Amino acid sequence: MAKLSSLYVCQQCGYQSPTFLGRCPECGSWSSLVEQISTTSSKISNNPQPSKSISQVINLSDITNNQYERLKSSLEEFDRVLGGGLVLGSIILISGDPGIGKSTLLTQVAINLPGVLYMAGEESAQQIKLRVDRIKAGVNLAVLNEVDVDAITTVIEKMRPKLVIIDSIQTLQTQDMESAAGSVSQVRESANRLQRMAKSLHIPILLVGHVTKEGTVAGPKTLEHLVDVVLSLEGEATSSFRILRSSKNRFGPTDEVGIFEMEEQGLKEVKNPSKIFLENKVDAPGSVVVASLNGYRPILVEIQALVTKSYLPSPRRSGSGVDLNRLQLLVAVLQKRLGLPLFDQDIFVNVTGGLKVFEPAVDLGICAAIVSSLKDQKVKPGMVLVGEVGLLGELRAIRQLDKRVNEAKKLGFTSVIAPPKVSSLSEAIKISLQ
């Protein structure tokens, strides 16, 4: 016999409570618990029967090459972040701020591939045609305006497209649940059904996900665990550059980035990001060029530092594009090992172009930029600094130095300051400053 039961579910993290709570004890969100009515069965079988449908055991040696090859999207930057292309049967989640270009990017992927089904839950087919004509006129694209996930899976099973794009997962719902679209239960169940469809038919599915005001993927955390790849499209509001990065990738590295430039006709791939990030470099104190490694690609970026007298009891330490904790550690090393008077100075560090660099290899560049601004001395022209700084003021070896050096030579830089050429922070700073 079935009976109805009431359950309160947090719309931010999925926490469940039998009673209403003003604040979620799991994530701390206020007024996020919503009542959901579920049907449970009071009859429990003492002798459960196994499922009638039993999956077959597959030997990996029986799988041919064409059953796991990747699907190329004709966008090299997009394929690079995925690890070489779309894996058949994979489910990929892409998120980003409103208006950042998620739909534009996926539309460009769709028009470059034949047999794509674009599921639109937020836009009409006429609106999508306007975007398609702006990017590339005269292109045909199959569009489905539907929010019922069961109807969508039926169409997918009938059409068997090469790629499915869902824009967005928060608009989908199933009639088997009474909660509204976008709720934790609807998002989780819709994603589950799409995942089973992708794995059974070996069709890659791209999901567009909303973000919260904190910048994280909206919906239950199980959504990120469920998918194979989690991508985020980032960019500053004042910049035309867009950076695609992955925080989870079962089929490739998670530190690769794809760089695009937003234009009137859509997102344009940036083939030489180092040149783009350095084209507006200013030769002034506090400016240093470092060689950062993103996945397998070396990228030269400019790090700027501003050191100024502080009139606050606690001087400010601010970093944009760098780890704030790492910045505070490097400031402490500069004070202790080089004897610099930074205790009463405000320090601001910024990576130009909106790129984020968190690898320890940029430590030397950050330290040199701070010292350059403090002493009001320029870094010698044509110089790239790279190296990890230890707590004792020593420079530690970094990975794939040859790639960084080759990239610097391509752009006309004449010298690279890096271990083991120099072994201490004080020696590197003395060589680099004019």
Binding residues, as ranges, are: 96-103
Would you mind telling me the total number of residues written for the chain in this entry?
434
Alpha carbon of residue 387 to chain centroid: 25
Q: Is 261 exposed, middle or buried (0-12, 13-18, 19+ CB in 10 A)?
A: middle
Under 8 Å between Cβ of 142 and 117:
yes
Q: Return the structure tokens found at 346.
A: 């405000």
The backbone torsions φ and ψ at residue 34, rounded to the nearest 5 degrees and listed phi first, read -120, 140
Burial of 164 (0-12, 13-18, 19+ CB in 10 A): buried
Note the helical H segments in 28-179. Answer: 76-82, 102-111, 125-135, 149-159
Binding residue ranges for ATP: 96-103
CA 426 to chain centroid: 36
**Cα–Cα–Cα angle for 231, 356, 83, nearest 5°?**
35
- Closest by CA to 219, choosing from 172, 268, 165, 277, is 172
> DSSP readout, 195-229?
HHHHHHHT--EEEEE-B-TTSSBSS-THHHHHSSE
Greatest Cα-to-Cα distance within the chain, rounded to the nearest angstrom? 84
Residue 234 pairs in a beta bridge with 243
